Amino acid sequence: MSPGESLDPVPDSFILQPPVFHPVIPYVTTIFGGLHAGKMVMLQGVVPLRAHRFQVDFQCGCSLCPQPDIAIHFNPRFHTTKPHVICNTLLSGCWQREARWPGLALQRGASFLILFLFGNESVNGRHFLHYRYRLPLSRVDTLGIFGDILVKAVGFLNISPFQEGSTGYPMGHVSLGGKAGPCGRVPCSRALPRGLWPGQVIVVRGLVLQEPKELALSLRDEAARAPVTLRASFTDRTLAWVSPWGRKKLISAPFLFHPQRFFEVLLLCQEGGLKLALNGQAVGTTSLDQHTLERLRELQIRGSIQLYCVHY
Ligand code: GAL
């Protein structure tokens, strides 16, 4: 534990699991908080030119012997004349009935992005296959990646907290990022050329540094005035909306920022204001009229953080 890190108990669902970049294969990791509907695992990688097969296993435990049950075994096979994917479940050491999908969207030598949506999986942006769970998701706490695959990144994400029943994550163009590891220094400024409109989403992900002081996200207009700033103060552990005149409106939610932990701030623009979610939890709203929202031109981020990405 680092100096200054809080000893407060933090509910599991508030902890965002850091992404992993270029892990050595075979790779086995704990899934913080386990798997549940609403969680997504993102896998970015390359299929080597001479790949035979690889597998992504959502396991119930991580013991080597006996082998743990595998709730979802996702196994692309490239060595046959018709490359395909096998999915299966391993129960008490026995494979169950295989499910087979032809027309594999993955190719030898090509890079890919797979989203396991637990409900849906998509490969390279296309919905690809649906595998009916044979073991409860709640038993899954480990991810294992084995075989012929080069993994660039593994990410653990939450589906949008705002859209009930939705299976999509807010999309946007990546203005920072795409590279492995931290990609931005603060203070950092991003242009919002067309202002903000209902339905638009801003996502900021980063890592809180050791001994942080504050984190501030300001939305500024053409006159460089910030009609609204979201400020997290580590000294008094408060989160607030701050007006241009310095008036603070405290957000009554658990303080979810912790030194050396990842965070995600999501701002959803809606008619009459902004909705805020932290680490996948909706925590509040602030009112702003549409005229003000449309006139916003810049997102400014500053504070004791390392930025991983800004999407909008
Ligand atoms: C077996 C294979 C296992 C696993 C299983 C899935 O033939 O040896 O590694 O892929 O199929 O059904």
Summarised one tens digit per residue, pLDDT across range 253-277 is 878 788 877 788 889 999 999 999 8
**184 and 133 co-located in one domain:** no
| Helix-strand-coil split of the chain, %, nearest 5 | 5, 45, 50
pLDDT at site 300: 96
Nearest ligand 1 atom, CA 98: 12
**62 and 139 co-located in one domain:** yes
Choose the most confident range, by mean pLDDT, from 11-20, 29-38, 151-160, 213-222. 213-222
Ligand 1 centroid, distance to 167 Cα (angstroms): 29
pLDDT at site 119: 57
Ligand 1 centroid, distance to 151 Cα (angstroms): 21
CB 155 within 8 A of CB 19: yes
**74 and 180 co-located in one domain:** no
Bigger pLDDT: 45 vs 123: 45
pLDDT at site 161: 55
Of 189, 127, 157, 170, nearest in space to 275 by CA: 170
CA torsion through residues 233, 238, 243, 246, sign: negative
In a domain, 225, yes or no: yes
| Total of domains in the chain | 2
Ligand 1 site residues, Cβ closer than 6 angstroms: 73, 75, 86, 88, 95, 98
Which helix (H) or strand (E) covers residue 253, if one does? none
pLDDT at site 25: 94
Summarised one tens digit per residue, pLDDT across range 57-96 is 999 988 777 899 999 999 999 999 899 999 999 999 999 9
Ligand 1 centroid, distance to 157 Cα (angstroms): 28
Which helix (H) or strand (E) covers residue 291, if one does? helix 290-294
Q: Whose CA is nearest to atom 7 of ligand 1?
A: 95
- Ranking 20-24, 64-68, 147-151, 169-173 by mean pLDDT, the lowest is 169-173
In a domain, 167, yes or no: no
**143 and 222 co-located in one domain:** no
In a domain, 169, yes or no: no
User: Taking residues 272-299, what's their average pLDDT?
Assistant: 90
- For a mutational test of ligand 1's pocket, the pick from 88, 90, 91, i.e. the residue with the most ligand atoms closer than 8 A to its C-beta, is 88
Q: How many CA atoms lie within 13 A of 5 on its CB side?
A: 12
Summarised one tens digit per residue, pLDDT across range 121-156 is 445 566 777 787 788 888 888 899 999 999 999 988
pLDDT at site 158: 66
Summarised one tens digit per residue, pLDDT across range 213-222 is 999 999 999 9
**151 and 19 co-located in one domain:** yes
Q: Whose CA is nearest to atom 8 of ligand 1?
A: 95
Of 299, 15, 48, 19, nearest in space to 177 by CA: 19
Last residue of a domain, one of 158, 193, 225: 158
50-80: string of b/e by CB count within 10 Å (b at 16+)? ebebbbbbbbbeeeeeeebbbbbbbbbbbee
**40 and 150 co-located in one domain:** yes
Give 109: exposed, middle or buried? Use CB within 10 Å, 0-12, 13-18, 19+. exposed
Nearest ligand 1 atom, CA 75: 10
**141 and 207 co-located in one domain:** no
User: Taking residues 158-178, what's their average pLDDT?
Assistant: 43
**22 and 151 co-located in one domain:** yes
- For a mutational test of ligand 1's pocket, the pick from 59, 73, 85, i.e. the residue with the most ligand atoms closer than 8 A to its C-beta, is 73
In a domain, 4, yes or no: no
- For a mutational test of ligand 1's pocket, the pick from 75, 79, 91, i.e. the residue with the most ligand atoms closer than 8 A to its C-beta, is 75
pTM higher than 0.75: no
In a domain, 31, yes or no: yes
Residue 247 has pLDDT above 80, yes or no: yes
**52 and 103 co-located in one domain:** yes
Which tokens sit at 102?
Answer: 């032809």
Residue 13 has pLDDT above 60, yes or no: no
**148 and 57 co-located in one domain:** yes
Which tokens sit at 14?
Answer: 């508030």
Q: Whose CA is nearest to atom 6 of ligand 1?
A: 88
pLDDT at site 61: 85
In a domain, 298, yes or no: yes
In a domain, 7, yes or no: no
Ligand 1 centroid, distance to 184 Cα (angstroms): 42
pLDDT at site 310: 82
Ligand 1 centroid, distance to 223 Cα (angstroms): 62
Q: Identify the domain containing residue 233 by its residue range.
A: 175-311
Last residue of a domain, one of 158, 190, 205: 158
Ligand 1 centroid, distance to 57 Cα (angstroms): 12
Ligand 1 centroid, distance to 71 Cα (angstroms): 13
In a domain, 93, yes or no: yes
Bigger pLDDT: 185 vs 163: 185
**227 and 305 co-located in one domain:** yes
Residue 178 has pLDDT above 70, yes or no: no
C-alpha dihedral (289, 276, 282, 170), degrees to nearest 10: 100
Ligand 1 centroid, distance to 125 Cα (angstroms): 27
Q: Which residue has the tokens 């073991």?
A: 135
Quick check: helix, strand or coil at residue 302?
strand
Q: What is the CATH number of the domain that holds 262?
A: 2.60.120.200
Distances (CA, A) of 249 to 232, 240, 241, 279, 282: 12, 5, 5, 20, 17
Of 54, 121, 125, nearest in space to 86 by CA: 54
Quick check: helix, strand or coil at residue 292?
helix
pLDDT at site 10: 36
